[in-house]
Amino acid sequence: MYPHQDSLFIGGAWVTPHAQEKITVIGSSTEAVLGSVPHGDEKDMDAAVAAARAAFDDPDGWPAWSPARRAEALYRLADALDRRKEDITRTVTAQNGMTITVCEQVEGMLPGTLLRYYAGLVRDESFEEVRQGMLGSPVHVRREPLGVVAAIVPWNAPQLLSATKYAPGLAAGCTFVLKPSPEAALDSILFAEAVAEAGLPAGVINIVPGGRETGAYLVSHPGVDKVAFTGSTAAGRRVAEACASRLRPVTLELGGKSAAIVLDDADLDTAIAEPFFFATMLANGQACFASTRVLAPQSRYDEVVDAVATLAKGLTVGDPMDPATQVGPLASARQRDRVEGYIEKGKAEGSRLVAGGSRPAEFSHGYYVAPTVFADVDNSQVIAREEIFGPVLSIIGYTDETDAVRIANDSEFGLGGSVWTADEERGMRVARQLRTGTVGLNHYTVDPAAPFGGVKSSGLGREFGPEALLNYQQLKSIYR
């Protein structure tokens, strides 16, 4: 299941890479080698872009297919992924530590769901409308595919975050070069096998794993028409700069430092429970939308601190393959070091550690960090300003509803957020005031039918929903 792959999937076939370098993937819970894949270089990326370009420019190729025919191919790809979902989930869990119960939904189910969703949206769509022009003649307005897409995805949810790009993009008629992250490259082999089984035309999807330099080369490649990127804000800025110089469309889904606002009327016995855990520490805190700043009313501050600390201490930390595990290891030694560095900063800044703060003693292997909660945090502190990307929460006090909204909005980021209250109308009022792309009311669950994305340093553009199709289309007006 965890192979040592010697070939790259380019032009619909497994081909010998130009590069000799290998990416070795390490298990997050075992620290043992899981497998390896070729590390693509510039010539490998040239071949992948050329294959995607040929598939797009073919007069009878993928973009020329009717939407119904493309939809049928997407349904076949969804079915092929479903047949591999057990292997996919176990591979992703072994790589990045996402618990198997979460991974079964996020990585095993959602890619197929997205493919079927966009296939259904475009199956009967003409992508052309006729308007009555102001000069007396009709105007045909067409939505045409943008072209070759460079899709760059991180390690925290590699299959889902790939699907958020290729599902709408394929439906629109684009072709793809996908660059997986080195930390989570093995599951891309299973994806390539599914693409081959589904019978997509050669070159419609090409996969070249690689590091930062490989990604930078792809982003700047003259054969690319569009970039879709998910990753850190710092890397996103570099991608945006490269695309701006080439006037190239780009979609950026970047970092977050979202706020969970616990209002003073919240029933803590029901609010600070499983839905709160999913909103704040899903995937071991390695989720960009996680509400890692917990805003608590001063009138009930100690109650909230006790409830959140109790929740964190009661979570089951363990083998991510065990269905009973709620928190697994972080994805890599580097990520664990990063999170531990922020924990030390929190201590140095004078915050009060009320849960976790160290590696669980019972694990001799694996990149584990105990679920950690800091109280008495000021919103100006480093742990409240910067994205940690681990199971670390900061509890910040506020005086009233207006103050809570002010603190929540006082952030470089604006991706997610949540409001916890017994009064849904009040919760909706607060949610509407938050400067963020998404908000959950008494939970946080991304809905594939609704646009997802951020404002400020959390990105540009939206994924999910019918709106995502527009990321991969350009408009043409034909005047008659």
Catalytic residues: 253, 288
Tokens of 239: 């991608």
Do 463 and 453 meet the contact criterion of CB atoms below 8 Å apart? yes
CA separation for the pair 118, 102 (Å, rounded): 23
Distances (CA, A) of 287 to 140, 312, 465: 42, 17, 20
In 3-state terms the chain splits into helix, strand, coil percentages (rounded to 5) of 40, 20, 40
Euclidean distance between CA atoms 88 and 96, whole angstroms: 12
Hey, is 286 helix, strand or coil? Answer: coil
Q: Give me the DSSP letters along 85-134.
A: HHHHHHHHHHHH---HHHHIIIIIIHHHHHHHHHHHHHTT--SEEEEE-T
On whether the CB atoms of residues 280 and 336 are closer than 8 A, the answer is: no
Q: How many CB atoms lie within 10 A of CB 445?
A: 10
Residue 398 burial (10 A CB sphere; 0-12, 13-18, 19+): buried
φ/ψ bin of 471: left (φ > 0), alpha (ψ from -120 to 50), beta (otherwise):
alpha
Q: How far apart are CA 223 and CA 149, in angstroms?
A: 9
| Nearest-5° Cα angle at 189, 186 to 193 | 155
Distances in whole angstroms, Cα of residue 236 to Cα of each of 227, 241, 318, 429: 11, 9, 33, 32
Q: What count of other Cβ atoms lies within 10 Å of the Cβ of residue 68?
A: 12
Burial 417-433 (b: 16+ CB within 10 A, else e): bbbbbeeeeebeebbee
Tokens 């509803």 belong to which residue? 401
Spatial distance between the Cα atoms of 440 and 287, rounded to a whole number of angstroms: 15
